[in-house]
Every structure is written in structure tokens, then in C-alpha cells.
Structure 1
């Protein structure tokens, strides 16, 4: 018969192997930040420039598999949940993409 400690370890290992544990931790962090965020002091509006900068940072984080950090950035910054279209970003930043840059 398994002990409570062994069961906890098995559940943790299973969640880690499925990639769920990190997602849960990130979601909890984001919810804690949201709960602690002082709603009486409104966040400044997200300017167009900051929207683009945040999107570049999010793209960098996701490219490097820092998805949990990206989820916290999205929650704290007020960035839209859905990523901005890459072609839109390229046009806004006046960047011309070629085949090799599209893969990054």
C-alpha cells in the first residue's frame, strides 16, 4: 500500500511529465498577482508602442519556451491573451521578413 508521500510524489511526477505542473504554477502566480493588484489604482492605458513592445517580449519568451513567464507578463500588463499577428507586427515595426527570419 502506498503512503501519502508516495502518492503526492507520483501525482507531482505525472503532472510534471505532462507539462501541466508548470502551467498550474504559472496560472496560480498570475491569479495571485491579479488578486494583489490594487484595483483602486488603475493601470495606465496600454499605448500602441507598449502593446508592440510587450508583444515582442512575449514572442521572445515563447520562442525560448518561457511560457509561464509569458502568461504572467500577459496578466500583469493587460496585453491581449491572443498574440498579435506576426505580419501585423512586421508591418508596424517596418521589418521585412524573409524565409529564414520567419522561422524565428
Structure 2
């Protein structure tokens, strides 16, 4: 009977891991620790226009993949506004031409796919083009499931 508390802990830990909750708890704890340690009086360096746009692309990617605690730490740490930039603004600002199959995924997926495709034209590699198509279709399916 004296091992019961340890056994109960292991069962609880295993249950939380199987449900995928343990990693969320760890991420939430890290985000809360960061927020507690973050000094609001500490001056952050001004964000360059490029860094601001890059942070927005990363935030969109993180939120799409449900890395919400990572996204919240990014936002707090770099000083991005709480409200994300409008996607259409990013598209225009970055001169991105979106294909119909990339509108349902983060812009970063489309940028990477375009870069991989451009590299294929210079240095043919069948695997990278297949990877980009697979990634875009997988990401589009994930976004469609989120909307359901």
C-alpha cells in the first residue's frame, strides 16, 4: 500500500500523456513562468519592419498548428500586438501571389513551397517537390478539420 501514491502518479501521468494533455500543461506552465519573469519595465529594442513581418508569419504558423502557448510567448517576448495582422495585408506587403490551394494554410507554407519549387527548377530533386505538395495538402486538410 505504501507504493500506491507513486503508482497513482504514474497512472495519472500515463493517462495525461495518452490524452495529449501533459504536453499542453508543460507548455502552459512554461508560458506562465515566462510571463511571471518578464519585466514589463524592460525596454525591448524596436522591431524592424522585416522582423515584424517575420514574427507575423511565424505567429500564423504557430496558431495554425495549435502551438498557442508558443505563440503567446512569441507575442509577449517580441512585443507584437496581441491582434494579428490581417492576412491580406501580409500578402500585399510581402508581394505574395497565393494559389487557391495555399489560401487555407499559413503563408509560410506557401513561401516554403515556392522556394522548394524554385530550387527544383535550378537543381531538380523530385523529393522536395513531392514534400511541398504533401505538406500543403496535409496542412489544408488540418485547416479544414479546424473549421469543422
Structure 1 length-normalised TM: 0.69
Q: Which has the larger radius of gyration?
A: 2
Quote the residue 1:56 is aligned against: 57
Gap regions ≥5 residues in structure 1: none
Between the two structures, name the one with larger relative contact order (CA 8 Å, sep ≥ 6): 1
- Counting matched residue pairs gives 103
> Where do residues 1-104 of structure 1 align in structure 2 (5 Å cutoff)?
3-46=4-47, 48-62=49-63, 65=65, 67=67, 68-104=69-105
Q: In 1, distance between residues paired with 2:41 and 2:71?
A: 25
Q: In 2, distance between residues paired with 1:25 and 1:11?
A: 15
For the aligned residue pairs, the C-alpha RMSD in angstroms reads 2.8
Q: In 2, distance between residues paired with 1:89 and 1:24?
A: 32
Alignment deviations for residues 15-39 of structure 1 (CA, whole Å, 9 cap, x no partner):
2233222222112112212222233
C-alpha displacement of 1:5:
1.7
Partner SS state of residue 96, structure 2: coil
Structure number with the higher helix fraction is 2
Gap regions ≥5 residues in structure 2: 106-148
